[in-house]
Amino acid sequence: MPTHKAVHVQAPGEPLTLVDVETESPPRDHVRIAVSACGVCGTDHAFVSGAFPEMSWPLTLGHEIAGTIAELGAGVDNYAVGDRVGVGWFGGHCNQCIPCRKGTFIYCEKLQVPSWQYPGGYAESVTVPANALARIPSELSFTEAAPLGCAGVTTFDALRKTRAVPGDRVAILGIGGLGHLGVQFARAMGFETIAIARGADKADDARQLGAHHYVDSTAGDVSEALRALGGVSVVLGTAANSKAMGAVVGGLLPLGELTVVGVTPDPLPISPLQLITPGVNVTGHPSGTARDVEEAMQFAVLSGVRARIEERPLSEAAEAYAAMEAGRARYRMVLTM
């Protein structure tokens, strides 16, 4: 039986270790991908911690996968060996539950996520459902494409599904793995873009990424700062900090939207009064389907949006993960195989 290299986490909280695993042929309606690149996402920390239900061990992390199809399972006739494909947080849907029958595949009751329902992309090879695949445009390298499968599509799809129109003011809360892409997408979509982050050290980066304005959340009341700029139609909350998200609500214009993509279990400190009087909406947004990933990639090609990445070989996955966990990544770690 042939083998490939993969990173295992043996149990919750255990270190990342590189091992040899058997390379099996894909079952029906699945494909096997020769992985070229895989992004390191903040949510990987939750997997390592065992924070999701019904996890199985050992675990292989990775849900920002890019590579080429190496092998087709029975029944897959719309892809070919050698096709360049990506897989993000959306790792397949059942096509039978009510959300799937309504066409809202991202809300599938049996949604599959790489590293949760099956081994992820911190590996030389990964087997995935064919309905999880997003075609990668020829203009994108594998390392450019990988972060768009989660961080990219999450921010892109969240912004385009707000009511904001070109010329509106939109704020991105948090300039990290998601936020640095959110700033770029907001600027490319024609919004007057405001970046919000802690400290003055990210101001230059934020402007280089396309922000028209920068708000240092440690320098004063964030809502007052947003009102001084005229108020905002949308805040995209990428920072996994409920207190920080609650602090922006007062800067929203009437009928404004706080769209939450930063994951945290802590409750949002927002009162009904803050929502009712100005008619403000607070919305959670998941990632995006395989087609949404394709559209995020196509928009990135057209607009020049790219993740700022630091590449590490698969053998240094533990170091790359540690850099992400410690907040040293500027702004996305990507493993290469």
> How wide is the angle at C-alpha 106 spanned by C-alphas 210 and 164, nearest 5°?
35
**117: its two tokens:** 């329902």
Residues 54, 60, 61, 66, CA torsion sign: negative
Q: How confident is the model at residue 1, as a pLDDT?
A: 83
Q: Could you tell me if 93 and 86 are in contact, meaning their C-beta atoms sit under 8 angstroms apart?
A: no
Residues of the chain with pLDDT below 70 are none
- The SS3 of residue 4 is strand
Q: In whole angstroms, what is the distance from residue 237 CA to residue 174 CA?
A: 7
pLDDT in tens, 109-119: 999 999 999 99
How far apart are alpha carbons 151 and 146 in whole angstroms? 9
pLDDT at 124: 98
The answer to whether the CB of 149 falls within 8 A of the CB of 293 is yes
Rounded Cα distance between 292 and 149, Å, is 9
Instruction: Tokens for 200, please give them.
Output: 């003055």
Query: What integer pLDDT is reported at residue 237 of this predicted model?
Result: 98
The CA distance from 16 to 201, in Å, is: 31
